[in-house]
Amino acid sequence: MKRLEDIFVLLNAWALILMLAAMTLIVGSNIALRYVTAHSLPWADEAARYLMIWMTFSGAGLALRYGGHVAITNLQDALPARGQTIMRAVLALGLLIFFGFMVLVGIQYAQRMQYQVTPALRIPFLYVYAAMPVGFTLLIAHLALIARQFIAAGTYRRRDADDDEPNTLPGGASG
């Protein structure tokens, strides 16, 4: 199971790297063309914008996994150990419900936009709006993989770190 989780995390990370590389190449090429030929690619800004949307939704799960989201821990820190565990369980359940709801909303948005096309690229907006349900599905998967350790101890272990020191997840002190 750990091996599958490592592959899942690696694929998610590489997808983000490829999207960032594509966005960088598109924007860089557009800037170079603008200065060299005085013309630019009419679709470059739109493509970069949609890649940024996909990177944001696709990367949210990795940010959750590694404690990259904002967390306010004053209430949790004031509770006794048992209360902290209960609070983390409620938090994880609340996040799971919210993420599931957002998957459904994202699917509805994508379906509504399937017949409209983007101005420059002329692709259906369905592909742009699909970032939302895909991203929240990834959030559900990442949360499911880290929930047990987070609820039990409020920590997670970075799979790519050299040290074995646990780091704190959202709801904890540091990342």
**Residue 153 in this model has a pLDDT that exceeds 60:** yes
- Run of H or E residues at 115: none
State residue 157's pLDDT score.
Answer: 56
Q: So what's the pLDDT on residue 158?
A: 58
Q: Is the pLDDT of residue 134 over 80?
A: yes
pLDDT of res. 170 = 47
Using DSSP, state whether 155 is helix, strand or coil: strand
Q: What is the pLDDT of residue 169?
A: 45
Average the pLDDT over 117-146 and give the result: 97
Distance CA 96, CA 101 (A): 9
**Amino acid (1-letter code) at residue 131:** A
pLDDT digits (tens, 9 = 90+) for 45-78: 999 999 999 999 999 999 999 888 888 888 888 9
Q: Is the pLDDT of residue 162 over 80?
A: no
Q: Average pLDDT over the chain, rounded to whole?
A: 90
Tokens 């970075």 — which residue?
158
Alpha helices in the chain (DSSP H): 2-37, 44-65, 74-78, 81-112, 125-129, 131-153
Task: Give domain limits for the chain.
Answer: 2-168
Average pLDDT (151-171) is 59
Of all residues in the chain, what percent carry a pLDDT higher than 90?
77
Mean pLDDT across 116-126: 97
CA distance 175 to 171: 10
pLDDT at 140 over 60: yes
Q: Return d(Cα 46, Cα 24) in angstroms, integer.
A: 13
Choice among 46-55, 107-116, 148-157 with the minimum mean pLDDT: 148-157
Residue 115 has pLDDT above 80, yes or no: yes
Structure tokens at 26: 């598109």
